[in-house]
Structure formats: C-alpha cells, structure tokens
A and B are shown apart, each in its own frame.
Chain A
Amino acid sequence: MWDIVAQIFPYAIAYTIPLLITALGGLFSERSGVINIGLEGLMVIGYFCTAITVRYLEPVMPPGTAVPIGLLAGFVGGMIFSLLHALASINLNANQVISGTAINMMAGALTVYLARTITGSGNILIRTGLFRRTVPVLSQIPIIGRLFFTQVYSSTWLVLAILLISWFLLYKTAFGLRLRSCGEHPGAAASAGINVYLMRYLGVMISGAYAGLGGGIIMVTYSGEFGGTVAGLGFLALASLIFGQWKPFGVLGATFFFGFAITIANVSQVIPEFAVIPPLILRVFPYVVTLLALVVFSKSSQAPKAIGQPYYPGQG
C-alpha cells in the first residue's frame, strides 16, 4: 500500500496544485466580499496566456526561460481579465454571480477565437513544459523525502510559498485585516477610513492572478496543450473554498483531498489494488463527501458576512 501511495503521490500533487492556487485566489476575492464564480474562466485565460507565450518564446529563448515567463503571462492575463468582474461587481454594483458567469462564458469563447486567429489552430501545443525533479539530499529523508521531494515540479514549491505568504498577508498584516473587514462589514470598514473599493479591487485582482497562474500551471505540467477548457477545475476550486471554510489551510486540506481522490479514481484501473472498487464509485466519491460535508458544516458556515452584497458609499 505504501508503495502505491508513494508512487501516485507526485501525480496527485501535480493535480492538486492548480486547484490550490485557484481556490486561494477565490479566497482573497470572497474574503473582500466579492463572490467569484468566474474562477473557471480566469483559469482558462491564464491557461491560454501561458500557452501562447511559451509557444512563441520557446523557439527563440534559451531553454528553461520561456516557461517562467509564460507563467507570469498567465498570472498577469488572469489579473487583467478579472478587472472586468471587478468593474461590474464593485463599481457598477452588478449581480456578482451573473458577472462571474459572464466571465466563464467569455473566456472559453474568446481564448479559442484568439488562438485560432493568432496561431491558426484552436489548440496550442508547446514543446516542453516543466519537468518533475527529485531533490538530491532531501529526497533521502524517510517518508517525507519520498512523498514531497521526489518527482516534484518547481511550480509546486512556488504555490506552497504563495500559500504561506497569503496566510501571512491575510492574518498578520494590516492589509489582511482591512481586506477581511470589507467582506464582513464594509460600512464599518469604511467608517474606519478603509477604502472599500480599493480593497475589493485588490481582492478580485489577486483572485484573477492566482487563477490565471493556476491555469498556466496546468499548461506547463500535466496538459502540454491548450484546448479551450479546464474541465470544471475552477468550479472544483470554488467547492474547495467552501469545503475549506474560506481559510487558507482549510483550502489546502480540501484541495488536497480532491486532488488525491480524483487521482486515485483516474489511475485505479492500472493499479490492481484499487481495481477491485468499481471506477464509478471512486469517481463520485469526492463529490459525495463534499455534499455531506456541506450539509454538516452548513449550520456553522464561516462565509464572510457581506459576501455578494454590493457596497454603496455611506451605507450603514
């Protein structure tokens, strides 16, 4: 059993990381009081920006430099695109769910259109993405070495670092306190001199940037080809956010649970120990658990109080 876990662990991590960073992005947005259903679309934007950047830089840049620039492009692209959502839901007081849905619908169509216009094909293929590496000394540590330092992508470390930084930002800095207060009671925050608009803009932009990075990581790790969709991962990130009760480490646990359960379902066929369980059951397992968890937690939900409510200056 241990061998199987150790063997599929790197792949489960690779699947979890884009989910984690996207859910973390959603956390910033929702903690500032703006629902972000558009995570899926923002991931697609990042996926596209990374793909097209790497596709054109790869032949002309020294090896290994195109991918980081591509990821940066995904990060920036997601951030810029999220401004649409910010504008609609913060300045124009639109319904945030509708605005997010619009982001999702636009992203899929726009990116395929752009891909076809620019490259002549709706699918963008890159030659090389990131490679999994085994960290020389650390991988010798018993158990932990085998699980966390064997066959890892460098993007994994990047995202885990972002997780720690995000936690620090949210809970240990004035900025984090201000951001969270805008999601709990924007009127009170404003009366204390906080610029609610600015805070919410930052929340949404961070969510766009993180989701864009998540999409970019999918591109350079397990996919390798842009195809216009991230197959519902953005919504899964949203579910993880709720499952994780809007807390960074809760989100880490939730995304890891999803990543591991889905990986087991995916590879169950080639691993005889799992093959005794019908694939269908493995496939629905994480979603059933999520539903149950939501039912159990619904009474004590930690959702930000002012989530989804537009802020009007001067409101009480």
Chain B
Amino acid sequence: MKKVLVIAVVLLSMTGLLFAAGAREETPARLRVGMVTDAGTIDDKSFNQGTWEGIVRASNDFDLDIRYLRPAGETEAEYVREIGNLYDAGYRLVVTPGFKFETAIYIVQERYPQAKFVLLDGYPHTGDWNPVVGDNTVSIFYAEHESGFLAGLATALELETGAVGFIGGMEIPPVQKFNWGFQQGITYANANYGTNMTMDSRNFVYQGSFDNVAAGQQLAASMYDRGVKAIFAAAGGVGVGAINEAKARAATGQNVWIVGVDVDQYDEGIYAAGKSIILTSAMKEIGNSAYDMIKAELEGTFPGGQILTFDASNYGIGIPDENPNLSAEVEAKVAEVFRKLQTGEQVVSDERGNLIR
C-alpha cells in the first residue's frame, strides 16, 4: 500500500513539473505588472496601498496581469528573492514602493536586463548612495517639501492662531522634507496672510520608527497637553496613535487636529458622523506615478535610466481635492499658491537651513 502511495506521489509531482515547465515557455500575451510590498500590509493606507491602487487602475484601463508579493522581511535578500519570483513567473515590469528597495533594485536591474523596474521614493545604489540608475529602471522622487508647504499653509489659514507640532517617523529625507516644507508653509501664511501660528522646537520630533503606535499616542497627548492645536504626523503607524489620541480628544470636545500624510487620511480621522480630526493631508500621488509608468511602458516610452521628480508642476503632490474641514476660501488660497509653485513664482526649499530639526 505504501509503495503504491509513493509511486502515485512521484508521478503526480512529475506531471506537476511538466505542466510548470510548459507554463514557463508560454509568452504572456498581456503585460505582467508585479509589485513587492514594503514594510506593512497591502492595505496600509499609505505607500503600499497607494501604489497598488495605481496598478489596479492601470489594469482596469489597459488589461494587465497584475500581482503583488509580500516579502517575509525587510532585508535586501528578501526583496531580491520576491522580485526574482515575479520575474520567474513572467512579470516584466516590477514596481517597488519605498527607499528600502534601493540596494535590491541595484542588484536586480543588472540581473534581469529583460525586466523593467519602477522605484518609488528612492534610487538604486550599492549602499554608498551613489545613484546608478540602469537603463531598465526609473527612479521616482516626490517634492515632499512642496506637499508639506501646502499642508502647512492650509493649516495656518484655517486655524489662524495657535501652536502647531510635527511628529515624524524615522529621520530620513522624505520625512524631513515634509517637516521643512510644513514649517515654511506656516511661516509663509504668517508673513503673507496675517495668520498668527507659532512653532516651538519642543513640538517638532522624530519618533524613530514607523510602527510604535503607543509612542505616537503619547507624543501627541504630550503636545496637545501643552496647547498644540494641530500636529502634522508623517509617521506611518506612529501616526495611527496620534490620530487615535486626537479622535479621543475631539470626541470629548477639545479643538485638536491632525494633518495627514502620503494619502488622504480623512476617513481615518472620523470620530462621529461627518466629523474628522484630519484637517487636510500632505499627499504624494503615488498611484498616479505607478499608473503613468505602466502607461509609458505600454506606449514604448518608458523613461529608463532617469530620475524623475513629481512635484506641483506635474501634479505629483498636493492636498486632497476635497477637504471638508477647510473653508472654500482657504482652499481657493491654497490653489492659488499651488499655481505659484507650478510656475516657479514661489519656491520651497528642500534644505533644512535654519528651520527646526
């Protein structure tokens, strides 16, 4: 009986191999677009989700085969393995969200010259931060400082007086640029629109991680206790804790706000029907970039070898189209400044200069 079983199993696995081999030779008729997720889940309401939504939208428009893989961890080896898995399954365009993929993309862009890679928020390098963008790779950056600037401006215009704070995740360039832009936005509003917002260095901090929910809640609580009215939380899971604290306070009648990040976080801040503590959000249009690159690949205009920056001029950043907590007047003023950013009439610095942290 046992022998029969063994033979049956062997036969089964052999047929499996045959079929697998057959499938591999077949050339896919449709473009296969793959994605490897960064830390967190596909529905993280941030980078992973935004990227994936862009890919799904492209798939609806252009009829693609799409798939995402979640690596077991956040190391270069695990990223490379998942990208290799996608490649082996015939995926020839791979989108990777986040700077953590930088060294992995450096490896795979040489290993798989047939495939194309889109790296969001980073550029390939060997670990020495010297950009080496292969001909089959496009590296995309966002002008976070412009996004933060618009959010800061909107915050100041809507609240007019009071203190603002900032909670960042890790102290890395994209997060820092959000912070610096936000401060410039507040200062700009104070100077040009007569608002009276204050910034205190004690209220501008980087928590040091993107997942410490408890610390986010405790930092936000300490700032609100000190009289801060609005906190710009660019901190992933740390921001979840801050949003939760703001919701608890708003529900008991306190006037506190959070400025969201990366995507429109309005829905996450809802604490009662029609009320959210998300004043506005400093967005990066991640999905748009993924969509644009897929479209370019299909049209044969994939900008391989380039480092692109998505800013106000190509609608790569901004605040949400609808901000129920902002008055129409404020939105109009922000839109006006957005146009100034587009034309270059108003410039936001992406350097720290003499700003807080």
In contact, A270 and B203 (Cβ under 8 angstroms): yes
- The residue of chain B having its C-beta at the shortest distance from the C-beta of A112 within the complex is B41
Residues of B within 8 A of A222 (CB): 213-214, 217-218, 241, 244-245
Q: Mark A253-290, 1 if CB is under 8 A from B, else 0.
A: 00000000011001101111000000100000000000
In contact, A266 and B202 (Cβ under 8 angstroms): no
Residues of B within 8 A of A271 (CB): 202, 222
In contact, A225 and B212 (Cβ under 8 angstroms): no
In contact, B45 and A123 (Cβ under 8 angstroms): yes
Query: Shortest beta-carbon distance, B233 to chain A, in Å?
Result: 13
In contact, A131 and B248 (Cβ under 8 angstroms): yes
In contact, A11 and B270 (Cβ under 8 angstroms): no
Residues of B within 8 A of A132 (CB): 248
- Decide yes or no whether B215 CB sits under 8 A from chain A: yes
- Decide yes or no whether A7 CB sits under 8 A from chain B: yes
Q: Which listed residue, A7, A131, A223, A269, touches B205 by the CB 8 Å rule?
A: A269
Q: Which listed residue, A123, A266, A270, A279, touches B43 by the CB 8 Å rule?
A: A123
Q: Mark A224-261, 1 if CB is under 8 A from B, else 0.
A: 11011001000000000000000000000000000000
Q: Mark A5-37, 1 if CB is under 8 A from B, else 0.
A: 001100100110000000000000000000000
- Decide yes or no whether A125 CB sits under 8 A from chain B: yes
A284 vs B245: C-alpha distance in the bound complex, in angstroms? Answer: 26
- Decide yes or no whether B335 CB sits under 8 A from chain A: no
A224 vs B237: C-alpha distance in the bound complex, in angstroms? Answer: 11
Q: Mark B209-248, 1 if CB is under 8 A from A, else 0.
A: 0011111011101110110000000000100110111011
In contact, A123 and B219 (Cβ under 8 angstroms): no
In contact, B237 and A125 (Cβ under 8 angstroms): no
In contact, A223 and B213 (Cβ under 8 angstroms): yes
Tally of A interface residues using CB under 8 Å:
34
In contact, A266 and B214 (Cβ under 8 angstroms): yes
Per CB-CB distance, the 7 closest pairs between chain A and chain B, nearest first, are: A224-B244, A266-B215, A122-B41, A222-B217, A269-B205, A121-B43, A11-B218
Q: A131-B248, A266-B215 are in contact. List 15 more A-B contacts (CB 8 A).
A: A8-B218, A15-B218, A122-B42, A128-B247, A128-B251, A128-B271, A222-B241, A222-B245, A224-B240, A225-B244, A231-B212, A231-B214, A267-B222, A270-B223, A272-B202
Residues of A within 8 A of B245 (CB): 222
- Decide yes or no whether A70 CB sits under 8 A from chain B: no
In contact, A269 and B219 (Cβ under 8 angstroms): yes
A120 vs B223: C-alpha distance in the bound complex, in angstroms? Answer: 34
- B191-211 residues with Cβ-Cβ distance < 8 A to A are 202-203, 205-208, 211
Instruction: Known A112-B41, A127-B272, A227-B240; judge A7-B218 contact (CB<8 A).
Output: no
Residues of B within 8 A of A272 (CB): 202
Q: Which listed residue, B44, B218, B271, touches A127 by the CB 8 Å rule?
A: B271
Residues of A within 8 A of B222 (CB): 7-8, 11, 267, 270-271
In contact, B241 and A223 (Cβ under 8 angstroms): yes
Chain B residues with CB under 8 Å of chain A are: 41-45, 202-203, 205-208, 211-215, 217-219, 221-223, 225-226, 237, 240-241, 243-245, 247-248, 251-252, 268, 270-272
Cross-chain pair count, CB within 8 angstroms: 97
Instruction: Known A15-B214, A121-B43; judge A129-B244 contact (CB<8 A).
Output: yes
Chain A residues with CB under 8 Å of chain B are: 7-8, 11, 14-15, 112, 116, 120-123, 125, 127-132, 222-225, 227-228, 231, 262-263, 266-267, 269-272, 279
Q: Which listed residue, A11, A122, A223, A267, touches B240 by the CB 8 Å rule?
A: A223
- The residue of chain B having its C-beta at the shortest distance from the C-beta of A266 within the complex is B215
A227 vs B211: C-alpha distance in the bound complex, in angstroms? Answer: 10
Residues of A within 8 A of B226 (CB): 270
A271 vs B245: C-alpha distance in the bound complex, in angstroms? Answer: 18
- The residue of chain B having its C-beta at the shortest distance from the C-beta of A18 within the complex is B214
Q: Which of A129, A228, A267: most chain B Cβ within 10 A? A: A267
Residues of A within 8 A of B248 (CB): 128-132, 224
Residues of B within 8 A of A130 (CB): 248
A266 vs B208: C-alpha distance in the bound complex, in angstroms? Answer: 10
Q: Which of B212, B240, B243: most chain A Cβ within 10 A? A: B240
A8 vs B218: C-alpha distance in the bound complex, in angstroms? Answer: 8
Residues of B within 8 A of A125 (CB): 268
Q: Which listed residue, A263, A267, A279, touches B208 by the CB 8 Å rule?
A: A279
Instruction: Known A129-B244, A263-B218; judge A227-B205 contact (CB<8 A).
Output: no
Residues of A within 8 A of B247 (CB): 127-128, 224
A29 vs B272: C-alpha distance in the bound complex, in angstroms? Answer: 40
A123 vs B45: C-alpha distance in the bound complex, in angstroms? Answer: 9
Residues of B within 8 A of A225 (CB): 213, 240, 244, 268
Residues of A within 8 A of B205 (CB): 269-270
Instruction: Known A7-B225, A222-B214, A279-B208; judge A267-B219 contact (CB<8 A).
Output: yes
A41 vs B220: C-alpha distance in the bound complex, in angstroms? Answer: 28
- The residue of chain A having its C-beta at the shortest distance from the C-beta of B200 within the complex is A270
Instruction: Known A123-B41, A225-B244; judge A270-B217 contact (CB<8 A).
Output: no
Residues of A within 8 A of B42 (CB): 122
